Amino acid sequence: MENPIYIALSRQTALRRQMDVVANNIANMNTTGFKQQRVLFNEFLTRPGMHEQVSFVQDRAVVRDLRPGGLTSTGNQLDFALTGPGYFTVDTAAGQRYTRAGSFRLNDDRQIVDMGGLPVLADNGQPLTLPAGTTTVSVAGDGTLSTELGPVGRLNIVTFPNEQLMTELGGGLYVSDEEPQPAPPETKVAQGMLEGSNVSPIMEMTSMIEVARQYQQAQSMITSEHERMRTAIQRLARAV
């Protein structure tokens, strides 16, 4: 008798999760290298009785849209963007982490670091350090960095067999249990550019409105079903 209410509640729970994801997309629409996310839903069947079957909705997972974001020219010689699949590698106290946010700078030790101060690693696993007194940095398409004194090292750009399995840590960083692999040859580094998020603000605002409407419809169904049950109980009570 209460199954319609339970079904509507399951829908509201999933919509609440979807609203959180949409709101996060909107909040990060100007975040460098951010990938918009979507909630993956599936049907969850139960059998409350021998001849009954009830279908609930379940938010199965959150998937990332791996399409690249647009490139913006900054003119900063330490801003790098990837024009294909892959991630820059940075060093943390917990091990190597990966990012597409290529807004880098120099620290006091002349190491190239990300905006969180994490050293950017070369393909030999060591931080990229610019020689003292150098002022000009150039990067080739394959990630090789050079100054006026010559090559410094090559950016460690990697990819993973299944990028959807990567865990987002915040701050544009990801971690994966899979073994990193060298980025494919078609992946190039663009200097003086930053990759924007691939979030479409108009699409996300439309999604937010639609989710809110569906939530309200589910709430109306719960209210109507509750009223129907109360009316039925009252009539049964008067009949007795």
Segments making up each domain of the chain, as ranges = 3-66+199-239, 71-195
Let me know if 101 is exposed, middle or buried by CB neighbors in 10 A (0-12, 13-18, 19+): buried
What pLDDT shows up at residue 137? 95
CA distance 206 to 211: 9
pLDDT tens digits, the chain, 240 residues: what are they?
456 777 788 788 888 889 999 999 999 999 999 999 998 876 665 665 555 666 666 667 889 999 999 999 999 999 999 999 999 999 999 999 999 999 999 999 999 999 999 999 999 999 999 999 999 999 999 999 999 999 999 999 999 999 999 999 988 999 999 999 999 999 999 999 999 999 999 999 999 999 999 988 888 888 887 787 777 777 777 776
Tell me the CA distances in angstroms from 207 to 36, 65, 221, one per residue in order: 13, 15, 21
Identify whether the C-beta of residue 99 lies closer than 8 Å to the C-beta of residue 90: yes
Measure the CA angle with vertex 195, ends 79 and 140; round to 5°: 50
Q: What does the block give as tokens for 51?
A: 């001849």
CA distance 75 to 88: 20
What pLDDT shows up at residue 225? 78
CA distance 189 to 87: 11
3-state secondary structure 186-212: CCCEEECEEECCCCCHHHHHHHHHHHH
Identify whether the C-beta of residue 25 lies closer than 8 Å to the C-beta of residue 204: yes
**Which distant-in-sequence residues (6+ apart) come within 8 Å of 232 by Cβ?**
none
Cα Rg for the chain, rounded, in angstroms? 25
Among residues 92, 222, 108, 230, which one has the least CA distance to residue 169?
92
Amino acid at 202: I
CA distance 104 to 172: 13
